[in-house]
Amino acid sequence: MSDIPEWRAGSLADNLAVALRTRLAETGVSQGDLARRAGVSEKHLSQVINGRAGASVATWDRLFVALNTANDARQDTVGGEL
């Protein structure tokens, strides 16, 4: 067994996908909402976060920016911090 945590043992894309899935779960933002906000199809987003498709640096950037924006909007609506 390796001393390297699972999230650090994979490729950069794998690590980004894990981080994105984790943030989605933490924030409660749906994949559909994130896809719309980031300007990608739900199918492509699902494939990216499950490691079945690649994404450009620009797409990763849009996804994380959109996730933070969606989370900020959700906090304003819910009135709490995550």
Q: Is residue 8 part of a domain?
A: no
Q: Is residue 81 a contact partner of residue 71, using CB atoms and an 8 Å limit?
A: no
Distance CA 27, CA 41 (A): 20
For residue 81, the model assigns a pLDDT of 45
Residue 67, C-beta contacts closer than 8 angstroms, at least 6 positions apart: 20, 23, 24, 27, 29, 34, 37, 38
Q: Determine whether 18 is exposed, middle or buried from the number of CB atoms within 10 Å of its CB (0-12, 13-18, 19+).
A: middle
Q: For residue 61, what are the domain limits?
A: 18-70
Instruction: List the CATH number of the domain containing 36.
Output: 1.10.260.40
- In this structure, is residue 13 part of a structural domain? no
- Look-up of token digits 């980031």: 38
Residue 25 belongs to some domain of the structure: yes
Q: Is the pLDDT of residue 2 over 60?
A: no
CB within 8 Å of 15: residues ≥ 6 apart: 7, 8
Q: What is the pLDDT of residue 12?
A: 86
**pTM of this structure:** 0.72
Higher pLDDT, 19 or 81: 19
pLDDT digits (tens, 9 = 90+) for 30-75: 999 999 999 999 999 999 999 899 899 999 999 999 988 766 655 5
Domain count along the chain: 1
